[in-house]
Amino acid sequence: MEQASMQGGAAGSAYRGRTASIGFAHGPLVRVDAGAGGERVAGTLVEEALALRKAIDLASGQIADLAASAGGEAAQILEFQVALLEDEDLIEAIFASIGEGRPADVAWRSTLDEQIAEYNSAADEYLQARSSDLADLRDRVVHILRGDAGEPLKIPSGGVVCADDLPPSRFLEIDWSGGGGLALLHGSPTSHVA
């Protein structure tokens, strides 16, 4: 894995990185954007609550399946996300926000953003590192709510993935068996498990 910072120039773009894992990758460059897509039209309070429940259930199943296939330390990271989806206090607060008239995606995102800010400001480095897991989970559920079923990234064999950041579950969904590489424009070289 490679963490890269972009330097623009008249002749094109150059990347200077910091090695996170020894190796060399040569292959087609695949740019991956992690942002959650377009807008969605909110329904009634009941429809929004049902949409969130379905998105949480789908995300939970996806993450649990990925954890089972990944195993080891990667599975522990993903199990943390599944546990968050089962956190009654967190989920009740989001449903209460929907009950006040907020669309499901807005209620979900704002509640998770608050949690992420708390984790980022914690003195404990472990909690700070877990903020990327929360962002990963936030984005997965928002993608589902906005109509993206969260299908795994399709990367050609030997492809070099370039992303601003690649959340843990998205990294683990990629089939790396054909080789390949990763260049992150942001993020931590220790935020991913090889």
- Helix axes of 125-145 and 104-121: crossing angle, nearest 10 degrees: 170
Give dist(CA 4, CA 27) in Å, integer. Answer: 17
Res 191 pLDDT > 60: no
Give dist(CA 130, CA 76) in Å, integer. Answer: 11
Give dist(CA 126, CA 6) in Å, integer. Answer: 28
- 72-88: per-residue pLDDT in tens? 888 888 888 888 888 89
What is the predicted pLDDT for the residue at 192?
Answer: 44
Query: What does the pLDDT average to over 146-174?
Result: 75
- 107-120: per-residue pLDDT in tens? 999 999 999 999 88
Q: For residue 75, which amino acid is it?
A: A
Res 154 pLDDT > 90: no
Confidence of residue 19 (pLDDT cuts 50, 70, 90): low
Give dist(CA 117, CA 20) in Å, integer. Answer: 26
Q: Which residues pair with 163 in a beta bridge?
A: 32, 184
Q: Which domains does the chain carry?
A: 2-34+152-184 (no CATH), 45-145 (1.10.274.10)
What is the predicted pLDDT for the residue at 50?
Answer: 93
Res 53 pLDDT > 90: yes
Say which residue the tokens 């928002």 belong to. Answer: 142
Say which residue the tokens 């399709």 belong to. Answer: 154
